[in-house]
Structure 1
Amino acid sequence: MDILIITISSILYFSVAHGAEPNSELLLSTEASTVESFSAAVLDSSSHSSNSTLTPWPEITNGLPSDFLTSDEGISTTASTITSASTGTESTKEFEEGSLPPAPTTPFPDTAPTDPPLPEMARPCDQMACRLPFCYCQGYQIPGGLSANDTPQMVLTTFDGAINMHNYPLYTQMYHNERVNPNGCPVRATFFVSHRWTDYSNVQNLYATGHEIALRGVALTGDQLNATYENFTEDIVAFQQIAKNFADVDPQDMVGQRAPYLKTAGDDQFLAAFDAKLLYDASILNPNTTPVWPFTLDYATPFQCPEWYPPCPLLSYPGLWEIPATRMVGPTGIPYGFYSAYEFPKNPIEVAEVLMKFFKAHYEGNRAPFTLNGLSYWFGTAEYRLGFELFLEQLLRLPDVWIVTASQLISWMQRPTPLSSIKDFPAFKCDRPRTAQPCDTGKTCRTFLEGEEIYFSTCKRCPFTFPYLKNYNGCFNDPCPTPIVEYADSVSALCCSYVVHVIMLLLALSVAIKI
């Protein structure tokens, strides 16, 4: 009984000390309540709104909570000890039986909890504070103090847009296993994938054979100026989950993004990538003709974005890498970030010569990575495709040129490795396992999105509706119902379906004639 009285007195004391009114109805209910329920009810009647980091109330032991938070300075008082959370030291003080712990000296602030603060404004590069592997801001200098002759010339080949039957054969033909880097590993590309019209069985095959899958957009298709932080965040989450569900792509391997058509949207886009813990963005076009190395966004960009550019980031995003797009200035003086927009002559040899001219600005300069960014429709012109493949063959004859993916490039940036030992660099090896297995036969599924009929292709089970934002598995994230009608892609399956349909019609006609 003495313990009960002490418990009730202690709780009321803290409630009044923190500005809460004693609850008379609760006082009348003590005989019908246990000590634990009574204590919890009194605590619920005290409304504290605090901007400090408050831990949940602990379990009640021996009639008293085992821990009371009493101040913003991190002082935690118990019935037997006083612990300083800020210093980690602990002093023991025994209280006399029936006495109360000391009253709190600092009241709880009466402000509501706020969202986490935004990152700071990006400051100019601080070379002493910015150190690899986590930070790099010297965009025009070779990382690791390497000389140009001891630095591998890395080339990125990237493609934007949907992957489907219109371009998948092209990708497999250009990136065959006989086209290899100096260590004998097949060259691979980076695909910034758009969700709609993508055949995820093709995505699964590209991923399983070592290509990199990155994000271009699920709902965002180029209207970035009106997109918000929430739009970008949901797009990242949706694509990672959809590619996982329908192509077996490990979300931990989907670490990069690119804004459609390089239309960056300022800090909303980069804050979403930072909060999603992406490794890199590849959306900013280098505004200068001098090649620039990838850099982290801990500090301000190494170049000034022109006023007519899409918005560049202004805040600091520690550890988020930016891979600038190579600037290709056309004959009329217009800069391009995609070779597919450049005014090439329709001659394969001349196409290869133009690409080689831009490549040499990197190869004979500071060896900054040369990024080849394109859209697959460009290869529909036979002369362009032949010129591009001729250029690739010319590159691979050079012993110090490596065609790599975006994440392989960032791995090298984090640990710069000279040419003398580059063949043993782990990220450039081709024995890294992938969780996905190649897809032998995909299936096409009839789905709907807001009343629109959309055919969705995958090696997995057909979804109930078109996978989209907040509906990552096509069944609104619940288990899919059964049975699901699946439509095979193969001609034999379609013919079989047609034959069955004809037989059923003939049976129906025969029954009708007999009647």
Structure 2
Amino acid sequence: MKLVISVIFLVILTVVVSVPAPSLKDAPSCRIDQCRIPYCQCYNTKPTLALNQIPQIVVISTDDAVTAGNYEALYKSLYSGRKNPNGCQIGVTFFVPHEYTDYSVVHALYAAGFEIGVNSISKYHDVEYWNTADHNLLKDEFLGQKQILEKFAKVNQDVILGARTPLLQMNGDLTFWAYQNSSLVYDNSWTTVKETEWPYTLDYKSEQDCLIGKCPKESHKGFWILPINDWIDTKGYPCATIHGCIYKPNDTVEATFNWLKDNFDRVYYGEKIPFNIIANAGLFTSNFRAAYIKFLDYIQSFRDVYIVTQNHAIRWATNPLPIGNVNLFPCDPVYVHDNGKSRTCKLKKGGEDRYMTIYDEACPKVYPWVGNPMGN
């Protein structure tokens, strides 16, 4: 049954990503009679289930370089062995940038059942770069990173479905056409202060707040948005990420735990929209780590809370199943990871020497980069 569900979902995605050209027209207002799941979802459409039948979805993600140090110190110790109420391993989504990433570790995460998504190749920390990049450059960043992940981490491109842009910066419709021409099917870059917004598609006009960068206006058939619902800092100001909150709690375990808990409780005892946690490595001081573990234990004490990948959250939006349904958030497949197939390559990037660890693949000739993802 789980295999059938996965195949059906991939067939749906194959249909919706075949939209290669811009329309150059603003998307019309949504027509509920013509926009039906699983292929289409109007903005601000709530599940038809009663609130007590809606699972509280929690989506944990990172967009850091994936390194051996982070894997051993964070990912394995924080997430491995944790189970959802149905007995399946919890899910985490890794939006992987290229530079400094260890692709053998990426394969280990993929093999363990975690989701691998796209960030970019360069991850330039420059707002203007992402706000002014044209379609071809953006496609080189996103599609190129998909190709790198497939070749050097042995992650099947067919399961690399989602993206998050660096710095959460979008360049309007150009970003989304680049996504679609890279066979990506959902975005998790678009922030909102509203606590009522569920996943939706861009077939029709979006009324989501545009808080960072440039937001799309055209129709992008079948392309899903999983909004990043803002956190609230200790003085009541919204922030898209924990790291981005200006007024954080005192750096004690108890103060940090209470703040994490308050943000979760506001959603859980409200509309039960998907709760986003962007948990990048830079957050994890010793006190934050202890508070975060205590927080994970707290949310897992609820029998209706499911920590799932972004892919699973989108799947649920296409077919909202109630708590207790046997097909709710099926277990992800796991694969064999062989550390003996790792290889570290010394490569040239311009005049610099770079070291790149890859999985089950020969070393490229040069360091892969934008415009040359295979390192030819």
**Normalised TM-score (structure 2):** 0.88
1:450 to 331, 350, 353: 350
Matched, 1:463 2:364: yes
- 1:61-94 deviation per Cα after TM superposition (whole angstroms, max 9, x unaligned): xxxxxxxxxxxxxxxxxxxxxxxxxxxxxxxxxx
Structure 2 letter corresponding to 1:294: P
Structure 2 letter corresponding to 1:175: Y
Aligned-residue offset at 1:431: 5.2
- Hey, which bits of structure 1, 4+ residues long, moved more than 6 A? none
Aligned-residue offset at 1:345: 1.9
Matched, 1:235 2:141: yes
Secondary structure of the residue aligned to 1:352 is: helix
Aligned-residue offset at 1:329: 2.4
How do 1:320-331 residues align onto structure 2 when only pairs under 5 Å count? 320-331=223-234
Secondary structure of the residue aligned to 2:104 is: helix
In structure 2, what is the Cα distance between the partners aligned to 1:128 and 1:278? 26
Matched, 1:389 2:293: yes
Aligned-residue offset at 1:260: 0.9
Q: Which moved more, 1:394-403 or 1:297-306?
A: 297-306
How many residues get paired? Answer: 350
Alignment gaps of 5+ in structure 2: 1-19
- 1:69-125 deviation per Cα after TM superposition (whole angstroms, max 9, x unaligned): xxxxxxxxxxxxxxxxxxxxxxxxxxxxxxxxxxxxxxxxxxxxxx95525312223
The residue number in structure 1 matching 2:180 is: 274
The residue number in structure 1 matching 2:258 is: 353
Structure 2 letter corresponding to 1:253: V
Aligned-residue offset at 1:389: 1.2
Structure 1 letter corresponding to 2:276: T
Secondary structure of the residue aligned to 2:69 is: coil
In structure 2, what is the Cα distance between the partners aligned to 1:279 and 1:328? 25
Asked if the contact 2:112/2:334 (under 8 Å) is kept, the reply is: no
- 1:283-307 deviation per Cα after TM superposition (whole angstroms, max 9, x unaligned): 111133x24111111122233325x
Aligned-residue offset at 1:350: 2.0
Query: How high is the sequence identity, in percent, across the aligned residues?
Result: 31
Matched, 1:188 2:91: yes
Asked if the contact 2:104/2:358 (under 8 Å) is kept, the reply is: yes
Matched, 1:400 2:304: yes
Structure of larger gyration radius = 1
Asked if the contact 1:291/1:362 (under 8 Å) is kept, the reply is: no
Structure 2 letter corresponding to 1:265: N
1:265 to 167, 171, 186: 171
The residue number in structure 1 matching 2:109 is: 206
Say if 1:151 and 1:257 are closer, same or farther in 2 by CA, change over 3 A: same
Asked if the contact 1:247/1:459 (under 8 Å) is kept, the reply is: yes
**Normalised TM-score (structure 1):** 0.65
**Larger RCO (CA under 8 A, 6+ residues apart):** 2
Q: CA RMSD in A?
A: 1.9
Secondary structure of the residue aligned to 1:390 is: helix
In structure 2, what is the Cα distance between the partners aligned to 1:457 and 1:390? 33
The residue number in structure 2 matching 1:123 is: 28
- 1:372-409 deviation per Cα after TM superposition (whole angstroms, max 9, x unaligned): 01321111x11111111111111111000000001011
Asked if the contact 1:291/1:361 (under 8 Å) is kept, the reply is: no
Secondary structure of the residue aligned to 1:236 is: helix
In structure 2, what is the Cα distance between the partners aligned to 1:408 and 1:439? 28
The residue number in structure 2 matching 1:254 is: 160
1:197 to 97, 100, 105: 100
How do 1:50-129 residues align onto structure 2 when only pairs under 5 Å count? 116=21, 118=23, 120-129=25-34
Aligned-residue offset at 1:220: 4.2
Asked if the contact 1:326/1:371 (under 8 Å) is kept, the reply is: yes
In structure 1, what is the Cα distance between the partners aligned to 2:322 and 2:21? 41
Structure 2 letter corresponding to 1:274: Q
In structure 2, what is the Cα distance between the partners aligned to 1:451 and 1:129? 55
Q: Which moved more, 1:155-164 or 1:272-281?
A: 272-281
Alignment gaps of 5+ in structure 1: 1-114, 477-515
In structure 2, what is the Cα distance between the partners aligned to 1:250 and 1:211? 13
In structure 1, what is the Cα distance between the partners aligned to 2:294 and 2:341? 32
In structure 2, what is the Cα distance between the partners aligned to 1:323 and 1:116? 23
